[in-house]
Amino acid sequence: MAADKREDTAHPHSPSQEGGAHPHTDLVDDEAVVLWGRMLRVVNLIRAKTRADIDGVAGLSGEYFEVLLRLARHPDASARMTVLADEMSFSSGGFTRLIDRMAGDGLVERAPDPADRRAVRATMTAHGADLLDRSLAVHAPRLNSYFLEPLSAQERKVLAKALDRLDTLHSP
């Protein structure tokens, strides 16, 4: 009897038995679904190019580069690890493992926060700063050529405004 009941209840995304059509096929071309997919594709294409550039010049992974870049934006190239983890959308455990690997490679140092000894700060080392500088010397001009130069000044303004609005709307 249970088997009969399962056969009568079709999954909403399963092909129907009358011709194989999906009941939500019209949503495949939904504007949000299509634009989201296109945005992710462009981000992934450009990310692959920029990561290859950075790896080629400094041997840094994308995650290492991103941590160093974010640290460089903080005073004294130092920040609480919880702040960095939030900025990069990492779990605290995952971020701790990443920083431990970076510390092992001499790119950052970990130390208790002088303002709150319970907190831990990550600080970029001179070696990390050197690799970041070498990476940025290649990354910035190439990112401009991949991302900004193909757009007109007006398109850049519209994109910046749209990204600002979405960031404000979805930021915690």
Q: Which of 103, 97, 100, 101 is nearest to 125 (CA)?
A: 103
- Say yes or no to pLDDT of 21 above 80: no
pLDDT given at position 26: 83
- Say yes or no to pLDDT of 166 above 50: yes
| Locus of tokens 């580069």 | 65
Q: Using one digit for the tens of pLDDT, what is the confidence trace for 39-58?
A: 999 999 999 999 999 999 99
b (16+ CB within 10 A) / e for 55-72: eebbebeebbbbbbbbbe
Record the pTM. Answer: 0.78
Instruction: Give the CA count within 13 Å in the CB-facing half-sphere of 61.
Output: 9
* Span 8-22, average pLDDT: 50
- Say yes or no to pLDDT of 29 above 70: yes
pLDDT given at position 16: 46
Q: Using one digit for the tens of pLDDT, what is the confidence trace for 100-147?
A: 999 999 999 999 999 998 999 999 999 999 999 999 999 999 999 999
pLDDT given at position 19: 54
Q: Which of 85, 73, 135, 136 is nearest to 110 (CA)?
A: 85
DSSP letter string over 21-59?
--TTGGGGG-HHHHHHHHHHHHHHHHHHHHHHHHHHHH-
Long-range contacts of 13-20, Cβ-Cβ distance < 8 Å, separation of 24 or more = none
The more confidently predicted of residues 91 and 154 is 154
